[in-house]
Amino acid sequence: MSGHSKWANIKHRKAAQDAKKGVAFQKLVRAIMVAAKEGGADLAMNIRLKTFVDKAKEANMTNETIDRAIKKGSGGLDGENYEELYYEGYGPGGVAVLVESLTDNKNRTSSEVRFVFSRNGGSLGEAGCVAWMFERRGVIVVSGEGLDEDELMMNALDGGADDVENNGDGTFSIYCTPSAFSAVRETLSGAGYHIASSDVQMTPKNTVTVSERGTASRLLRLLDALEDLDDVQNVTANFDIPDEVMESLEA
């Protein structure tokens, strides 16, 4: 299992813990509002909105809260005006970092992101400096005991997936294009697979190996600090930490 995949799984567990504390709810509400504002309130016609609504339901958000967020975003209710901003930079070890945010105060968010980069051994770059190293893909993680990889791959490909990766810890990551995301997710769910997490996100085209323990520790500290910012929705980086280094960091 690559360090990047292991970090992604740690993020999913952390998101589940944050959801219990209510931290993730506000981020999901913002995402639903912006998706509804940009693509309309019809889930059948707005794949991005449907994705966030599904995530909200997975986090046990009430239908009332979801409906209210959709109405705010689509103009049915008064609400905050959020805009989507991307920040690009480099972390320890020359790792490319892409930060996705939703904010109602650009100056505040920019200042916070810049501070976190500088405090944790990174540097904020100009727009476009690393975005070309990433592509938007649907990522669905399934888990369960004794999963048959060949059978899972057949089901995933039938649903429209591009690739299946064995994470080595009892979970598999299924990748697909954003347009096929809903169909792949529904196919896997209908086949009885437990979906641990699912999202349409930026993923790295290639990775940089970070094998020095101190550098890896500083990098993960930077990524965690960025994730913890209220206005940040998602953080992606093109790194790979060898298993033995990752395990030493978790010890």
In the prediction, which pLDDT does 1 show? Answer: 40
What pLDDT score does 22 carry? 61
SS3 42: coil
Q: Which residue has the tokens 């912006």?
A: 34
CB atoms closer than 10 angstroms to residue 236:
21
In the chain, what are the domains? 3-74 (1.10.10.200), 85-127+206-250 (3.30.70.980), 133-204 (3.30.70.980)
Question: Digits of tens for pLDDT over the chain (251 positions)?
Answer: 454 555 565 555 555 555 545 667 788 888 888 888 888 888 888 888 888 888 888 778 889 988 988 888 887 666 677 888 999 999 999 999 999 998 889 999 999 999 999 999 999 999 999 999 999 999 898 988 888 899 999 999 999 999 998 887 788 989 999 889 889 998 999 999 988 888 888 888 888 999 999 999 999 999 989 988 989 988 999 998 888 888 887 76
The Cα 172–Cα 54 span in angstroms is 20
| Other CB atoms within 10 Å distance of the CB of residue 12 | 17
What tokens were used for 10?
A: 């740690």
What is the sign, positive or negative, of the torsion defined by CA atoms of 16, 173, 243, 203? negative
Q: What is the pTM of this model?
A: 0.79
Name residue, tokens 């992101």: 113
Element (H, E) at 201: strand 194-204
Output the CA torsion sign for 8, 17, 139, 39: negative
DSSP class of 45: T
Helices (H), the chain: 3-21, 23-39, 47-58, 63-74, 106-119, 149-159, 181-190, 213-227, 243-250
Which pLDDT score is estimated for 226?
Answer: 94
Residue 166 has which token pair?
């064995």
Assigned token pair, 96: 């490319």
User: Is 42:76 a contact under the CB 8 Å cutoff?
Assistant: no
